[in-house]
């Protein structure tokens, strides 16, 4: 009998079966997360189910998409979530001012951990694979079922093995790697498959970069993007993780449906052109003028992203034709920026800084693009109309490129004289 991948092992453990790729299993979930957009639907479905049970300790409610509320409709959504949490005594509810973008909160507050099975009614729930969890997005109706039963069905995914060697060059990171991967295999290249990352290159990647890579596994159709647990992982979560956890590693003879290989030192600063994350190009080969630069989101709104962007922009000024929006992922990141002097650096450069929110990433508010406008963004999607008018354009890049482009007024790498 062949060995198992990380995905197969976690789903085997949680289902109590010998789970193999292609099988359907019913598994216990460690946590189920909903936000202010997906939560209200789940609450109504839970009530419709009529269950007398509720797995409250496994439920996490995080308003983040329209935080703070931008209009009456979003205020009603937030109120519904707040009321549901209060009426049912749900402790894991993160009110405005105490939370932030859901996926970063799941990590900072210790819900995500190695070996856990986590689902969330948001497609970028796959982020937690960066710390060795099997995490994946679900629908609101499925979330309601998890509220009532603590379990869900899963089709065990096949796994793509990604072997990494070497080390990133300066100003290149996880965002560049994942754009390269998606460009190579396409937005449907990993449909219902898990990515599993291996090799010496993993140890040369910081956990924040791993989270960025796992976050965008869904942009290739992936069910999950899972890294091994190592010393860097343990250090990253040691002060925040809730409860016990058990890291999971793949067997040496595990079966993979495909193997991809990347030498990290060969990865260049990348930018994904409209209107797909798979339209990746080397930044040095582009010449695109921009109206807006956006730094933030569940993909690149962590303190590490803020630090590298601040290092690029320190002592310089945002281009007069550019709006530079800086959006920390959580209150904790915001406070760290304040304590480290990063907010002052961005303010001195002429950037706008907001509190944590998903905001413009999903085209919600606080950075909507008008027709014909272009933005370079550290977010994860650049579909038609994603951040505003259908005739606007979004270019995806890492935090260093976003900061350099804010200075230059066009998409550049930090090494280019115009960018720094």
What pLDDT digit, counting tens, does each position of 305-355 carry?
A: 999 999 999 999 999 999 999 999 999 999 999 999 999 999 999 999 999
For residue 418, name the pLDDT band (cuts at 50, 70, 90): low
Q: CB–CB of 257/193 below 8 Å?
A: yes
SS3 214: helix
Mean pLDDT, rounded, of the chain:
96
Task: Please report which confidence band the pLDDT of residue 415 belongs to, taking 50, 70 and 90 as the band edges.
Answer: confident
Q: For residue range 343-374, what is the model confidence (pLDDT) as tens digits?
A: 999 999 999 999 999 989 888 898 999 999 99
Answer for the pair 387, 377: CB distance below 8 angstroms, yes or no: yes
Which residue's entry shows tokens 């390269």? 180
The DSSP letter of residue 3 is B
Give me the mean pLDDT over the 249-257 stretch: 96
Q: In whole angstroms, what separates CA 261 from the centre of its chain? A: 23
- Each domain of the chain, given as residue ranges in start order, spans 8-262, 271-408
> In the block, which residue shows the tokens 């990348």?
270
Residue 419 has pLDDT above 60, yes or no: no
- Rounded to the nearest 10°, the torsion over CA 175, 167, 217, 129 is -120
- Hey, is 160 helix, strand or coil? strand
Using the Cα atoms of residue 352, residue 357, residue 361 and residue 363 in order, give the sign of their dihedral. negative
Q: Is the confidence at residue 401, as pLDDT, over 50?
A: yes
- State the number of CA atoms in the 13 A half-sphere of 141 facing the CB: 2
What is residue 390's predicted lDDT score, i.e. its pLDDT? 95
Question: What's the start-to-end Cα distance of the chain, in Å?
Answer: 56
Percent of the chain scored above 90 by pLDDT? 95
Neighbours of 238 (CB within 10 A): 8
The pLDDT tens digits for 285-301 are: 999 999 999 999 999 99
Confidence of residue 223 (pLDDT cuts 50, 70, 90): very high
Q: Please report the pLDDT score of residue 407 as a whole number.
A: 97
**Euclidean distance between CA atoms 60 and 92, whole angstroms:** 5
Max Cα-Cα span within the chain = 64
Handedness of CA 354, 101, 401, 334 (dihedral sign): positive
Query: Residue 114 pLDDT > 80, yes or no?
Result: yes
Strand order in the sheet with 31-35: 59-62, 31-35, 117-120, 134-137
Same fold, 8-262 and 271-408: yes
By CB atoms closer than 10 A (0-12, 13-18, 19+), residue 89 is exposed
- Residues 28-85 have pLDDT tens digits of 999 999 999 999 999 999 999 999 899 999 999 999 999 999 999 999 999 999 999 9
Closest to 121 (Cα-Cα) out of 108, 134, 135:
135
Q: Does domain 8-262 have CATH number 3.30.460.80?
A: no
* DSSP secondary structure code for residue 302 in this structure: S
Q: Virtual CA dihedral for 375, 34, 142, 186, nearest 10 degrees?
A: 20
Predicted pLDDT at 277: 95
Pick from 257, 277, 259, 287: which is nearest to 180 by CA? Answer: 277
Residue 417 has pLDDT above 90, yes or no: no
- Backbone φ and ψ for 46, nearest 5 degrees, come out as -60, -45
CATH architecture designation of domain 271-408: 2-Layer Sandwich (3.30)
CA 231 to chain centre: 22
pLDDT for the residue 420:
45
Report how far residue 398's alpha carbon sits from residue 380's, in angstroms, rounded to the nearest whole number: 10
């Amino acid at each position: 009998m062949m060995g198992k991948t990380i995905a197969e092992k976690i789903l085997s453990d949680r289902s109590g079966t010998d789970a193999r790729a292609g099988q359907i299993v019913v598994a216990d979930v460690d946590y189920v997360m909903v936000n202010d957009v997906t939560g209200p639907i789940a609450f109504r479905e839970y009530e419709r189910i009529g269950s007398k049970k509720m797995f409250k300790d496994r439920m996490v409610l995080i308003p983040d998409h329209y935080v703070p509320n931008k209009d009456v409709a979003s205020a009603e959504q937030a109120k519904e979530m707040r009321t549901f949490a209060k009426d049912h005594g749900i402790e894991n509810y993160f009110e405005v001012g105490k939370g932030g973008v859901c996926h970063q909160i799941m990590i900072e507050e210790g819900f995500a951990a190695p070996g856990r099975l986590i689902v969330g009614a948001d497609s970028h729930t796959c982020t937690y694979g960066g710390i060795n969890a099997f995490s994946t997005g679900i629908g609101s109706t499925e979330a309601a079922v998890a509220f009532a039963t603590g379990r869900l069905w899963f089709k065990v995914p096949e796994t793509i093995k990604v072997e990494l060697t070497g080390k990133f060059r300066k100003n290149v990171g996880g965002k560049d790697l994942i754009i390269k991967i998606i460009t190579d295999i396409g937005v449907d290249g990993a449909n219902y498959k898990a990515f599993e990352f291996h090799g010496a290159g993993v140890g040369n990647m910081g956990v924040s970069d791993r989270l960025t890579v796992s976050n965008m596994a869904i942009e290739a159709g992936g069910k999950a993007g899972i890294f091994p647990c190592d010393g860097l992982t343990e250090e990253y979560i040691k002060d925040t993780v809730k409860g016990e956890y058990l890291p999971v590693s793949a067997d040496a003879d595990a079966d993979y449906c495909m193997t991809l290989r990347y030498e990290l030192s060969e990865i260049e600063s990348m930018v994904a052109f409209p209107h797909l994350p798979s339209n990746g190009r080397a930044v040095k080969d582009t010449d695109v003028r921009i109206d807006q630069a956006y730094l933030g989101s569940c993909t690149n709104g962590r303190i590490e992203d803020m630090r590298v962007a601040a290092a690029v922009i320190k002592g310089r000024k945002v281009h007069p034709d550019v709006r530079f929006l800086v959006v920390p992922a959580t209150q904790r990141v915001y406070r760290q920026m304040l304590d480290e002097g990063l907010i002052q650096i961005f303010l001195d450069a002429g950037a706008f800084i907001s509190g944590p929110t998903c905001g413009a990433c999903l085209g919600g508010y606080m950075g909507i693009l008008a027709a014909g406008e272009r933005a370079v963004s550290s977010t994860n999607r650049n579909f038609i109309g994603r951040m505003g008018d259908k005739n606007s354009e979004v270019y995806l890049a890492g935090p260093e490129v976003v900061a350099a482009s804010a200075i230059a007024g066009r998409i550049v790498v930090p090494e280019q004289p115009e960018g720094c």
